[in-house]
Structures are given as structure tokens and as C-alpha cells.
Amino acid sequence: MLTRPYFGIAKQPRGFSALLFLAALLPALLIVPAMLGDLFFGSSWLGSDPTKAGEHLLGEWTLRFLFATLAITPLRHLTGWNWLAKHRRTLGLFAFAYVCLHLLTWTLLDVQLIVSEYVGWADVWKDLTKRPYITIGMLAFVLLVPLALTSTRAAIARMGKRWRVLHRLAYVVPILGVIHYLMAVKKDIEEPLVYGAVLAAILLWRARIASQRAAVA
Amino acid sequence: MPNTDLPSSEITPEGVYFDRRKFLTAAGLIGAGLVGGATLPLSPRSAGAQQQEQQQRSLGTPYGLQPTDVATPEEDVTSYNNFYEFGTGKDDPAANAQDFKARPWTVKVEGLVAKPGNYQLEDFLKPSKVEDRIYRMRCVEAWSMVIPWRGIMLADVLKRAQPTSAAKFVEFTTLMDPARMPGQRYPVLDWPYNEGLRLDEAMNPLTLLATGVYGKDLPNQNGAPLRLVTPWKYGFKGIKSIVRIRLTATMPKTSWNLAASNEYGFYANVNPEVDHPRWSQATERRIGMFRRIPTLPFNGYAAQVASMYSGMDLRRNY
């Protein structure tokens, strides 16, 4: 059997859920008002191009929440804090919320569909179909939608085994996200490579745990 | 006609145009005052708007500006830069170039010229008339600025060097010094940065060797002490911190073209009809303003440059 060091926190500390929720909300509470403030109210938090800066930050936070969701199982394994398990849903839904903000920023503030008289649906369609990094980003978003929709207890109960199969997409989406990031940058691939390395580490860690479990069983 | 010989002391004090948002709001009011230096307003303007217009004029002679164009705040021009020799982030150059020493500086003029030379920067600049010109600047990444440059005409430099009849192109090279340019320690591009123009492009009266912005010497992050400005081309043609100008018979190899030839061509003329593989070039976002504006053929300088490309397929020669 594997040892489970509890570090004296066998049960979830009081107020943890609320704290996690607020912590997860905090980046959006900072980024979105800063971006809108810079664009429309004369503040200067995000530099000379607040749209791009905000859009990129929201994208990066999406990846971080996707990674955090996948890191829960290894973390439980390491610490024995099994109470972390139920927070996978919170983190996953926050990833979805951040990608929605990222996508909204792209559509309305960056590309300016609806907003700009010079941009139409045809332009966005061209972006989606002719620019591989956007196609891949959009695919990642689309795959995340059913995961968000089936995140309720009722859906888990109703779907049974199929739920587990469907939610394997949680591995696919962050991989697509990192590829999207890598393809979006020009030559400054250092940061997306760091994200890729972190994701690879989490996935390898999970694979190791899975193989240990298989060996025990 | 606007006065082009204002000493920098006559230019509106910085404090007046530091409040960028006020500046930009007023921009909407100015209307057509700036086109080609025209002074006739289309409608009565407030005293404030008039003041704004004067302010803009004091920054230099406007070239090819559209009615709604106003100078991008100096703060943005000098803090939002692509200068990979000092890092790939937009704010990296301003942060990492602070200690760069742009003096003393030598510039070599060589290759197919009758009078090659190796000049101290001061001697290189001395014979030429220094001008203040306001140009539009369109980055290949689909953002844009309006920048008051100070500089000399490249044509002036080339005439003095006397290109031979075999000379067809001009090649420019940036300083290679990883100790002073930390970005060169990473193989992001094939250093040193190299750019090139066809000889007629280099001789075009719009082509500047800039030595300053906003009436001051170029800040390091903007390419001190000497950089190229070709306002009808994407910004990456504007090679910075130039140490060598060479006349050649064959088309020079240019850095971004070597890095990704499908994305960055030799000509790199601003063209709303030819998309970058990863984004549309039909519109642009002006730094400091929210709404997209249409991108113009040759960035609004078609009258001055289009004839150089007549008969050329601009889709193939992007």
C-alpha cells in the first residue's frame, strides 16, 4: 500500500471551499476591470495594448485552471487529502469561465465582431477555418462545453460509466490549449514551452499513479 | 505651411500631451486639420481642439495622415516596442535597454559605392538636414501608431556615398553585441538583425534614417542611435541600432524572412488584401484607441510609393 502522509489535515479545513472560490475569482476580478478601465475609462494597468494583454492573461489562467483540475489526483495521492477531490469540479468550471472570458475578449474587443463596422461574421469564419491556431483554440473550447454541462451531480448519476469516458476530454483540452498557445506566438516560444512542460509533468505523474494502481489491483 | 525647423525647445511641453485620454478624446474633434498639412477646418472647432492641432503641428510635418490620425502618446511609443535584441515581450525593450550605451557609435557605408566610409555617428549625420516628420506606423501584428520621428533622408546619405551602376539593393545590419544586447544570447532570430530595401525604395523621399522621436534623441528601446523608417512597410522593416549600410547587386537576406518566409516577405508593403497566415491584415488596432480602423494600401502612402511596384504581383511579392 502507498503511504499517505496527512500532514495533520485529514479533513477539509473550515472555510476552504469559500477561500478557494474567492482565490479562483480573484484573477478575473483584477484582469477584467483593469482591461475595461484601460480601454474605456483612462486607467493604465495593462500597458499600451490592454486588449491583447487581458486576452492573453485570461487565456493563461484558463490553462492554469485546466492544469489545476488535473493536478488534484496527484496532489491527493501525495498528501492523502482526499477531500480535495470534490474541488475538481470547482476548478474545472473556473477553467470554463476563464475560457469564456478569453473568447469574449477575442470576439468583442480584439476582433471586434458586432462592435466594428469593418468586421463581419465572414471575417470571424475565415479566422476559425483558415488559421489553425484559432481552429485548435475553438476546438478546445467546444470540447469543454459538454464537460461544463455535465458537471452536475445529477448528470454524473445519470450518465454512469459514460460520464467517465466523456470526461477523459479533460486530458485532451489542455493539450489543445498548449498547442494553441504555441502556435499563437511568433518566436517567443519560451512561455508556451513552460506550460507544455508543466502539463507533461502532471500527465506523467498521473500515468505513474494509474500504473501503480493497476499493479496493486 | 507648417514650420519644420522648430528647435525642440519650441515644442509643446510634455505635460500638455501626457494626459493621453484627453488627448485622444480631443482627437475626435479635430477633424480634417492634418491632411497633408492643410489648415482649413471642416467645421468650427473648440479652442481646445485648435490647441490640439497646434500641438500636433509642433511635433513635425504630417505626412500621409488621415483625418482622424493623432500622434500616439509618447509614453506608448517609448514603452510598447518590438526589439528582440532586448527581449521578446513588448515591454522588455524599455526595461532591458536602459543601460545600453548608444555613443560612441560608428556607421559603415560599404559595398557597391564610389565613396565607402566608416563614420562616427556625428560625422555621418552632420551633412544632412534633420527633419521632424509625423508618419503612420503599421506593425505586421495588426496594431498601429502615429509617430513623430526626427531624422535624415536615407537618399541623402546614399547620394553622398555614390552607388555604382551595379548597385540594386541596400542592406542594413544591426549591432551584434550579446553583452550589450541580452536578447542576442538566445537564438530567437539569426543574429544580427538584417534588413534590406530595393535601391529605389531606399531613395524614396519618405525613407528616413531616424535619430529621434518626439523631438528628442531616440530612446534605446526605439533603436538608438539610428534606425530605418519606411512608413508604407510593416514595422519590422524598420531595423534598429544600425551599424552597417551596404549596397549590393542581389536581394539581401532579411531576418524575419529567414525565420518564417511564408509569413514575412522581403517587400512587406502594408496591404489590407494580403492576410498574414495567422491573421487578417484588413483592419488594425491603433494603440491608445479601442475601435479597429481599416488598413490602407501602402499604409496610406500609395500616392508616394505605389508607382515603384507597378506591374508587380503584390500577392506573390508580399
Q: What's the rounded Cα separation, in Å, for the pair A39 and A50?
A: 7
Dihedral angle, C-alpha B233, B238, B239, B240, nearest 10 °: -170
Task: Please choose, from the candidates A39, A192, A50, A106, the residue with its C-alpha nearest in 3D space to the C-alpha of residue B80.
Answer: A50
Predicted pLDDT at B184: 97
- B-proximal residues of A, 128-147, CB under 8 Å: 130-131, 133
Write down the ipTM of this complex: 0.88
Query: Distance between CA B174 and CA B172 in Å, rounded?
Result: 7
> Which residues 6+ apart lie within 8 Å of B238 measured at CB?
B137, B195, B223, B227, B228, B229, B230
Task: State how far the Cα of A66 lies from the Cα of A91, in Å rounded to an integer.
Answer: 7
CA dihedral over B139, B143, B146, B148, signed as positive or negative: negative
- pLDDT category of residue B55 using cuts at 50, 70 and 90: low
Question: Residue B32 pLDDT more than 70?
Answer: no
Query: Using CB atoms within 10 A of its CB, is residue B117 exposed (0-12), middle (13-18) or buried (19+)?
Result: middle
In the block, residue with C-alpha cell 525565420:
B259
Residue B48's pLDDT is what?
54
Read off the pLDDT of each residue in B228-243 and give the average, rounded to a whole number.
98
Cβ–Cβ gap B88/A127 under 8 Å: no
Higher pLDDT, B50 or A67: A67
pLDDT digits (tens, 9 = 90+) for A130-154: 999 999 999 999 999 999 999 999 9
Distance between CA atoms of B49 and B54, rounded to whole angstroms?
A: 9
Residue B231 CA to residue B217 CA, distance in Å, equals 19
Task: Give contacts of A49 with chain B, Cβ < 8 Å.
Answer: 80, 90, 143, 285, 287
Inter-chain Cβ pairs, chain A and chain B, closer than 8 A: 61
φ, ψ for residue A115 (rounded to 5)? -70, -45
Paired sense of beta strands B106-111 and B194-198, if any: unpaired
Q: Does B185 reach chain A within 8 Å, measured CB to CB?
A: no
| Rounded Cα–Cα distance for residues B143 and B158 (Å) | 31
Report yes or no: A15 at the B interface, CB cutoff 8 Å.
no
Q: Which residues have CB under 8 Å from A201's CB, separation 6+?
A: none
Q: Residue B24: which pLDDT band, with cuts at 50, 70 and 90?
A: very low
The reply to whether A51 touches chain B by the CB within 8 Å rule is yes
Residue written as grid cell 551584434 = B176
Question: Within its chain, how far is the Cα of A141 from the centroid?
Answer: 10
Q: Are B155 and B199 in contact (CB under 8 A)?
A: no
B276 in reach of chain A (CB within 8 A): no
B233 beta partners? B269
Nearest-neighbour CA in chain B from A116: distance (Å): 7
Give tens-digit pLDDT for A11-60.
Answer: 889 999 999 999 999 999 999 999 999 999 999 999 999 999 999 999 99
Give dist(CA B11, CA A209) in Å, integer.
68
Model confidence pLDDT, tens digit, residues A178-213? 999 999 998 889 999 999 999 999 999 999 999 988
| A47 → closest Cβ in B80, B277, B280 | B80
Instruction: Looking at the complex, report in whole angstroms how far the Cα of residue B35 sits from the nearest Cα belonging to chain A.
Output: 22
Question: Which of A49, A109, A133 lies closest to B90 in CB terms?
Answer: A49
pLDDT at B40 over 70: no
Comparing C-alpha atoms, which of B219, B111, B218 is closest to residue B166? B111
Task: Report whether A77 contacts A10 (CB < 8 A).
Answer: no
**What pLDDT, on the 0 to 100 scale, is given for residue B27?**
39
CB B251, CB B167: distance < 8 Å: no
Distance from CA of A113 to the nearest CA of B (A): 10
Per-residue b or e along A129-157, where b marks 16 or more CB atoms closer than 10 Å to that residue's CB: eebebbbbbbbbbeebeebbebbeeeeee
Cell numbers given for A32: 477584467
Q: Which of B278, B281, B287, B296 is the mutation pick for testing A, counting most A CBs within 10 A?
A: B278
Closest CA to A199 of A216, A217, A182: A182
pTM over 0.80: yes
Flag if B79 and A48 touch (Cβ within 8 Å).
yes
